[in-house]
Amino acid sequence: MHTYFDGLNYSLANEDTWIEYSLLDFQTHRVLSVSGSGARCLPLLAKNPGHIDIVDISEVQLFLAELRIQAARSLTYEEWLFFMGYRGAVPGDPNSIISRPALFEKIKGLQPKTKTFWSNSRLRWEKNGFLFLGKWEQHFQKLGFLFRNILRCDFGPIFKAQTLQDQQKLFKSSWPHRRWKSFLKIVASEVVFDRFLYKGHFSGKADRKTEKMPFSQFVENEFNRLFSTQLARKNYFLQVLFLGEIRYEEGLPLEAQRNIFEQIQSSTTTINYIHCSLLETLTQNSYNCYNFISLSDTISYMPDHFASQILQKIHSNTKMGSLIVIRSFLREPEKLDQKGWQYDPEASLLAQKTDGTGIYRFQIYRKI
């Protein structure tokens, strides 16, 4: 296992779950999803598929995904928001606020090893919840701290804007463009990301990436686009990075929106957690005839000869119309063997334009 994938790498979501949720049909038979934090998998339950197989090379990520899902199935909406860390307290009588450890005991259906892991890790999550336990989230919180406290950048006005028109005006007039650009050249450099976050496996390294422009310029362009096209207060990713928290609940990620949560609670989906690599899952499981596959950006980390054959690893009996969603970060899959699959350019471009993080490219294929 790469060093980057050791331990808990993701605890919130560095991917906008809306993309996969909007593409998944209601009551699809079988779904495969790479786990990550579980925040991309959980909203898929709202579509009530028959089965979801959640796979990850990191067992700790699977522990978090299972906790996230079983907590959603066991707790009320208000309890779940508090337990995860989206809110600081359960609304109601201030004299009877429920503690996170007490809520943890209410969660049903956890596998023994999952319950043991989180019981032993209680000091890590008891005070503030689970959202910022991951290395990815902590890294970007630190960047936000530097923006605000070292460079003295006040991002508050942008997030207070109620309309996109007002936000665009503020972005032109009050955004610290020069400091922002200079800062990106340092913190969004290949060396910093590779050494301090990705531990040598950064997909944006010069000898691996397919994106031609420098990483810092790529990031600057994408954030300029986000602030020009999406209301920042409705984007949890922008809030985490620039405010260090999700301050405005209208920007809650999909898993934490009440209507989605209520549909999750009424789902009857069977969930299977698989601790192994994606390729092992696709080639070894006898039931891997999936109708919908969410690959995250795992393909960015695969050797070229594996990445190019990923579509051919999927069971040959997969039904016509089945969908696969591939994300890529700076390194798009090249020379993909598309036999039996058809690229959907319109859906792929729409996903890129509406993605709330702004850093991913999409390749969406349908079985033909």
Question: Which structure tokens are listed for 255?
Answer: 């898993």
Amino acid making up residue 296: S
Q: Residue 1 pLDDT more than 50?
A: no
Highest mean pLDDT among 92-101, 237-246, 269-278: 269-278
Percent of the chain with pLDDT over 70: 88
pLDDT at 293: 95
Q: Is 77 left (phi over 0), alpha (psi -120 to 50) or beta?
A: alpha
Strands annotated E in the chain: 30-34, 51-56, 270-275, 292-294, 323-328, 341-343, 361-367
pLDDT in tens, 86-122: 988 665 555 555 799 999 999 999 999 999 999 999 9
Start and end residues for every CATH 3.40.50.150 domain found in the chain = 3-130+254-367
User: Which pairing describes strands 361-367 and 341-343: parallel, antiparallel, or unpaired?
Assistant: antiparallel
Q: Which of 137, 23, 8 is nearest to 67 (CA)?
A: 8
String of DSSP letters for 226-260: HHHHS-GGG-HHHHHHHHSS---GGG--GGGSHHH
pLDDT at 6: 64
Whole-number mean pLDDT of the chain?
87
- Split at pLDDT 50, 70, 90, the class of 218 is confident
SS3 352: helix
The Cα-based distances of 191 to 108, 139, 143, 147, 330 in angstroms read 44, 15, 15, 19, 15
pLDDT in tens, 342-357: 999 999 999 998 888 8
pLDDT in tens, 288-347: 689 999 998 888 878 888 888 999 988 888 889 999 999 988 888 778 999 999 999 999
Q: Which of 18, 5, 1 is nearest to 356 (CA)?
A: 18
Q: Could you give the CA distance from residue 168 to residue 166 in angstroms, rounded to a whole number?
A: 5
Q: Residue 198 pLDDT more than 80?
A: no
Q: Residue 175 pLDDT more than 70?
A: yes
Describe the crossing of helices 258-265 and 59-74 by its angle, rounded to 10 degrees.
Answer: 90
- Split at pLDDT 50, 70, 90, the class of 216 is confident
Task: Please state the CATH superfamily assignment of the domain spanning residues 3-130+254-367 in this structure.
Answer: Vaccinia Virus protein VP39 (3.40.50.150)
Percent of the chain with pLDDT over 90: 54
- Split at pLDDT 50, 70, 90, the class of 202 is low
More confident position, 156 or 56? 56
Whether the CA torsion 88, 140, 227, 358 is positive or negative: it is negative
- Split at pLDDT 50, 70, 90, the class of 285 is low
Single pTM value for the model = 0.90
